Chain A
Amino acid sequence: MVKLPIYMDNHATTPLDPRVLEAMMPYLTDQFGNAASRNHKFGWEAEQAVESARKEIAALIGADPREIVFTSGATESDNLAVKGVAWMYREKGDHIITCVTEHKAILDTCKHLEKEGFRVTFLPVDNKGFVNLDDIRNAITDKTILISIMTANNEVGVVQDIKAIGKLARERGVIFHTDAVQAVGKIPFNVNEMNVDIASLSAHKLYGPKGVGALYVRRRNPRVLLTPIIDGGGHERGMRSGTLNVPGIVGFAKATQIARENLANESAEMFRLREKLRATLERELDEVYINGDLQKRLPGNLNMSFAYVEGESLLMGINDIAVSSGSACTSASLEPSYILKALGVGEDLAHTSIRFGIGRFNTEEEVDYVAARVIEVVRRLRELSPLYEMAKEGIDLKSVHWATEA
């Protein structure tokens, strides 16, 4: 028997690994010192813990410990990267290149900078979810100071060719930032092999605690400087003021260590489970569509549209399973996913999409249960769907004149 409810939304967040909590406990209790206290044992212990965590996190991505800046999470890391570069290099140029499927932490930061007078190019993606290298090349001008392209997408799991983008940026002397939040700990990621200058990381996406993240900032070839976005005591080599979240950082490091030691096995297992889920759904249901490229993709990600079945009603039917939908009804905005839209997925199919995020703690039994429940509910809702009925009658739904505004 599987234990309900099942959590299969590991792109949103991941459960805290019990080993991580264990590592954090001393720093939530007796070892509560401020890492900036230089005059007593409490402070020294905290500083020691932070520095060893810095080494551990640097090791996962092939960085030098001095290149790791701790933050409160991915949103702050993205803000610091983009605003930090923009403000530092403003005299050199005022142009930023990014892409339409980035996280809102990048897109909205770029829009903020546009209001300050920066120019931003939001590149499109193809129907598989990839940004075109030639588009980036053609967008670069002598005023371009930053390219920011995410490594793996949070909705469709598509993994960009970061190495090639980094190489291009390097050749043109442009700083390259990547939001690597979904990728790090799931697929190999090395800042030197991939020509990355700045990278955003988050602890809670790899079984660590919420409220802690990091920014990798390259020190050599090229040396990247950032203008801080928070003013204060000058912590983190002046790049990020604020008392360090010592227990969070310790937990982040433990999570990183576990991820590094198990990466290959874990990735293969998530891939196996994902493929089983996909194959079962595709075998048992007609008119299901994968959103985003299936090959260059995070191993645990499956984003699928179930034609003629609205996403929120499907979620309601599988309410003992935690997954996400790109349907408008699940968001406050009443707009379907902008990411699916950017991939050219029609709004009709965007409304029927479900994102499954398989993680470390999901079992094969859970995957079998999820597949069976989804199949059952999709079939039931299709019996209820006028669109399915019309499609089966041979009516081309695109040719129907819909009274869109009643």
Chain B
Amino acid sequence: MAYSDKVIDHYNNPRNVGALPKEDPNVGTGLVGAPECGDVMKLQIKVNESGVIEEAKFKTFGCGSAIASSSLATEWVKGKTLTEALAIKNTDIVKELSLPPVKIHCSVLAEDAIKAAVSDWKKKHTEK
């Protein structure tokens, strides 16, 4: 299977790899997928006082397309408000990375990771 240039670029030079402190109240962590399915994504966001995502980090266990989808997701959420971040659709990722049909699940997982990170952040803030 041939990969698109953008997938290869994200695979070779993944953006925003790393971890943010999980316990930080301003950090939301999303962990989606399962090792048995061959894909696990961890996406973290750090939200500032004006409700804007100022930092995003990821780590992904999965194929090249999964790595590229999550790398792209961190790029896209940065500088966005939570509402804007939630508006990112998996189809946008498919389009940007030219993912073939068998790799659409990677983009779905990336969208889920964003949602999970936002909802973790929201949970921390409603509990207070």
Residues of A whose CB lies within 8 Å of any CB of B are 308-310, 312-313, 316-317, 327-329, 332, 334, 336, 346-348, 351, 383-389, 397, 402-404, 406
Contact = CB atoms under 8 A, between A and B. Distances in A.
Given A383-B17, A384-B14, A402 B61 contact: no
Contacts of B33: 402-403, 406
A328 B112 contact: no
Nearest to A346: B36
Nearest to B113: A406
Of listed B19, B41, B64, residue having the most chain A CB within 10 A: B64
Interface residues of B, number: 30
B74 interface: no
Nearest to B19: A389
B60 A384 contact: yes
A406 B62 contact: no
A9 to B, nearest CB: 16
A406 B59 contact: no
Contact of A316 (B11, B36, B60, B108): B11
Contacts of B19: 389
B94 interface: no
Contact of A348 (B36, B64, B109): B36
B38 A309 contact: no
A388 B17 CA distance: 14
B2 to A, nearest CB: 11
Given A389-B19, A404-B36, 6 more contacts: A309-B61, A310-B62, A327-B38, A348-B36, A384-B59, A402-B34
Interface string B36-55: 11111110000000000000
A312 to B, nearest CB: 4
A388 to B, nearest CB: 8
